[in-house]
Amino acid sequence: MATAPQPTRDDFAAMLEASLGKNQSFEGRVVKGVVTGIENDLAVIDVGLKSEGRIPLREFAGLDGQHGLVIGSEVEVFVDRVENANGEAMLSRDRARREASWDALETQYAAGERVEGIIFGRVKGGFTVDLNGAVAFLPGSQVDIRPVRDVTPLMNLPQPFQILKMDRKRGNIVVSRRSILEESRAEQRSGLILSLAEGQIVDGTVKNITDYGAFVDLGGIDGLLHVTDMSYKRVNHPSEVLNIGDVLRVQIVRINRETQRISLGMKQLEADPWTTAAAKYAVGTKHKGRVTNITEYGAFVELEAGIEGLVHVSEMSWVKKNVHPGKIVATSQEVEVLVLEVDEDKRRISLGLKQAQRNPWEVFAEDHPVGTKVEGEVKNSTEFGLFIGLDGEVDGMVHMSDIAWGLTGEQALARHHKGERVQAVVLEVDVEKERISLGIKQLDESQGPRVIASTEGAAANDSLKKNDIITTTVVAARDGGIDVQVGDDGAVVFIKRGDLSRDRDEQKAERFQPGQKVDAMIIGFEKGRKPMLSIKAMQISEEKAAVAQYGTSDSGATLGNILGAAFNKAKEDADKS
């Protein structure tokens, strides 16, 4: 019987190389093995290598902490190394589970599918999630739709996640729970929004309050209740009428199904006070109200809940001009106003504060007729006169020509200063222009003509009419003209420089002397029948009359001939008389 040939050294080397090559091909792979024994907390696994490997039983434990292994059980393990320093295979159940999990997760990620995981730990910036063996990172911003203060109730519970990013080489997986909630919420919103209609009345809960309104939860979808739709009356901030958690009855005002935005209203469930505003607040009627808001251009006054009117700054005071409304009224102050205009379409009411009070110039005119003596403080001195503070918060002006007799305007102004109390006489009151003319020099009757009261002056001048030529007496010459007295005991009238002569070279006040008689024409009347005079108008009128009587277009006579003839005839008539 032939004997088998003995293997040579080369044969042994070839077999060893083949065995090593086969064993090395196991490394870094997931393979199936059989449990051959359980020693304390280790499971002995045979994967067909030279030696068996040992894996801690905890790597096989489930959520209940039980491993469920028995001898002969077949399991998948990861071969880390074929042989360690002790000659044993280095195996891992966790690595095997992770590898299998990565394979499944890559497939689900590519398909955009949700994955199930368990939040089991906290790390900087977020949390760790077990995705059936693979560990993923859950950023804090991706836990919920709104910030979550306590994540404890969400931990150690299986729940769905969406993979946002995945890198197997780096072992990096980022997941989101928020995207799942938003998707579910969007589906819920779409279904809920289809069941709502504009004008529908629903109940909701206040979830959040901002400066411009409140967000109300309608049972899965939020609606915005704007501050202007909370009440017909003015609401400065939503917190004045609402609190978080309040249950409200609201009406759906608008629905935008594309953006899924819902506008809500509370005031729409109340009676609109503007339906009767025009009848209740007729133009010209007085009402009391409360100042609710003050701006640069005026103040808003609430006449009743939901009805506000604007008092423009120009309608706030008879005497205080160009001041901020806050210096005239205060918020919450009760005031009386007059209705000036009502615009129902624009829901606007214009109010007047000063119109609800008497015009102080009318009151002054009634209480202080022309010729009345008054006393007041010099509030301001200007280049043309003095402003005197009078009763009723009105001011009167003393023109520089009415300060003192025999002095120039500049000299007269220099005699008085701001803050000084002076006496004066009322010369004229113009209610429409809100002007009061005063005179100080008229108090000294020994130096000039007496001021005639309005009733007396009117009676004295009733016989005068426009275009009459009257003789006056020069009282004083000033820079801008002359003061003349009408009659022996009449009013003093000022003739402006431009009315002193037809010839511009003769329009000089200094050529007139106090006491000189001057003829002038009445060109009109001021209030109180005080005449307005002009020497220039008289000269022009006389010239026209002379041309009409003595000259014709074809006579060839000069203007000098015509005037000479007129003057000669006038002299002859005077001599005969």
Q: 251: exposed, middle or buried (C-beta count within 10 Å: 0-12, 13-18, 19+)?
A: middle
Residue 302 has pLDDT above 80, yes or no: yes
Q: Looking at the structure, do residues 316 and 254 belong to the same domain, yes or no?
A: no
Last residue of a domain, one of 244, 269, 294: 269
Last residue of a domain, one of 410, 443, 476: 443
Residue 210 has pLDDT above 60, yes or no: yes
**Which pLDDT does position 20 carry in this prediction?**
45
Residue 568 in any domain: the answer is no
Spatial separation of the C-alpha atoms in residues 121 and 76, rounded to whole Å: 27
Separation of CA 173 from chain center: 49
Q: Looking at the structure, do residues 105 and 118 belong to the same domain, yes or no?
A: no
Provide the whole-model pTM.
0.45
Average the pLDDT over 180-200 and give the result: 80
Half-sphere exposure in the Cβ direction for 365 (13 Å, CA): 18
Residue 317 in any domain: the answer is yes
Average the pLDDT over 295-320 and give the result: 90
Residue 553 has pLDDT above 50, yes or no: no
CB atoms within 10 A of CB 100: 16
**Which pLDDT does position 564 carry in this prediction?**
55
Average the pLDDT over 476-480 and give the result: 82
**Which pLDDT does position 575 carry in this prediction?**
56
Q: Looking at the structure, do residues 107 and 37 belong to the same domain, yes or no?
A: yes
Average the pLDDT over 496-514 and give the result: 88
Q: Are 95 and 78 in contact (CB under 8 A)?
A: yes
**Which pLDDT does position 66 carry in this prediction?**
63
Residue 137 has pLDDT above 70, yes or no: yes
Query: What percentage of the chain has pLDDT greater than the value 90?
Result: 25
Average the pLDDT over 548-575 and give the result: 53
**Tens of pLDDT, residues 90-109:** 776 777 777 777 888 888 88
More confident residue, 292 or 462: 292
Spatial separation of the C-alpha atoms in residues 153 and 315, rounded to whole Å: 64
Which residues are CB-contacts of 224 (< 8 A; sequence separation ≥ 6)? Answer: 213, 214, 215, 216, 261, 262, 263, 264
**Tens of pLDDT, residues 365-400:** 888 888 889 999 999 988 888 999 988 788 999 988
Residue 7 in any domain: the answer is no
**Which pLDDT does position 7 carry in this prediction?**
63
**Tens of pLDDT, residues 215-265:** 998 877 889 999 989 988 888 899 988 999 999 999 999 988 877 788 999
**Which pLDDT does position 220 carry in this prediction?**
75
Spatial separation of the C-alpha atoms in residues 560 and 542, rounded to whole Å: 13
Q: Which residue has the tokens 């939901």?
A: 306
Average the pLDDT over 176-190 and give the result: 82
Which residues are CB-contacts of 412 (< 8 A; sequence separation ≥ 6)? Answer: 400, 401, 403, 404, 441
Q: Looking at the structure, do residues 29 and 109 belong to the same domain, yes or no?
A: yes
Closest CA to 165 of 151, 154, 179: 179
Residue 129 has pLDDT above 90, yes or no: yes
Q: Looking at the structure, do residues 31 and 108 belong to the same domain, yes or no?
A: yes
More confident residue, 486 or 576: 486
Last residue of a domain, one of 70, 85, 113: 113
**Which pLDDT does position 405 carry in this prediction?**
80
Average the pLDDT over 294-318 and give the result: 91
Residue 574 has pLDDT above 80, yes or no: no
Q: Are 173 and 135 in contact (CB under 8 A)?
A: yes
Q: Looking at the structure, do residues 294 and 349 belong to the same domain, yes or no?
A: yes
Residue 294 in any domain: the answer is yes
Q: Looking at the structure, do residues 33 and 101 belong to the same domain, yes or no?
A: yes
Range of the domain at 143: 114-182
Residue 454 has pLDDT above 70, yes or no: no
Average pLDDT over the chain, rounded to whole? Answer: 81
**Which pLDDT does position 461 carry in this prediction?**
53
**Which pLDDT does position 1 carry in this prediction?**
45
Residue 177 has pLDDT above 90, yes or no: yes
Of the candidate ranges 2-16, 328-342, 505-519, the one whose mean pLDDT is the lowest: 2-16
**pLDDT confidence of 5, banded at 50, 70, 90?**
low
Residue 249 in any domain: the answer is yes
Q: Are 219 and 165 in contact (CB under 8 A)?
A: no
SS3 content of the chain, % helix, strand, coil (to 5): 30, 35, 35
**Which pLDDT does position 162 carry in this prediction?**
93
Strand 74-81 and strand 30-39: pairing?
antiparallel
Q: Looking at the structure, do residues 176 and 223 belong to the same domain, yes or no?
A: no
Q: Looking at the structure, do residues 232 and 310 belong to the same domain, yes or no?
A: no
Residue 456 in any domain: the answer is no
Residue 297 has pLDDT above 80, yes or no: yes
**Tens of pLDDT, residues 327-365:** 999 999 999 999 999 998 888 999 999 888 888 888 888
Which residues are CB-contacts of 28 (< 8 A; sequence separation ≥ 6)? Answer: 79, 80
Which residues are CB-contacts of 422 (< 8 A; sequence separation ≥ 6)? Answer: 375, 376, 377, 378, 386, 388, 416, 440
**Tens of pLDDT, residues 15-71:** 544 444 444 456 767 778 887 888 887 878 777 777 777 777 777 776 555 666 778
What are the residue ranges of helices labelled H in 225-326?
Answer: 277-280
Average the pLDDT over 180-198 and give the result: 79
Q: Looking at the structure, do residues 287 and 237 belong to the same domain, yes or no?
A: no
Q: Are 251 and 277 in contact (CB under 8 A)?
A: no
**Which pLDDT does position 459 carry in this prediction?**
41
CATH number of the domain to which 127 belongs = 2.40.50.140
CB atoms within 10 A of CB 389: 16
Q: Are 147 and 157 in contact (CB under 8 A)?
A: no
Which residues share a beta bridge with 81? 90
Q: Looking at the structure, do residues 364 and 439 belong to the same domain, yes or no?
A: yes
The total of structural domains in the chain comes to: 6
Residue 556 has pLDDT above 50, yes or no: no
**pLDDT confidence of 572, banded at 50, 70, 90?**
low
More confident residue, 119 or 72: 119
Residue 73 in any domain: the answer is yes
Q: Are 405 and 449 in contact (CB under 8 A)?
A: no
DSSP string, 88-149: -BEEEHHHHHHHHHHHHHHHHHHHT--EEEEEEEEETTEEEEEETTEEEEEEGGGS-SS--S
Q: Looking at the structure, do residues 31 and 100 belong to the same domain, yes or no?
A: yes
Residue 8 in any domain: the answer is no
Residue 544 has pLDDT above 80, yes or no: yes
**Which pLDDT does position 387 carry in this prediction?**
93
**Which pLDDT does position 424 carry in this prediction?**
92
**pLDDT confidence of 152, banded at 50, 70, 90?**
confident
Which residues are CB-contacts of 573 (< 8 A; sequence separation ≥ 6)? Answer: none
More confident residue, 387 or 73: 387
Closest CA to 533 of 470, 491, 480: 470
**pLDDT confidence of 458, banded at 50, 70, 90?**
very low
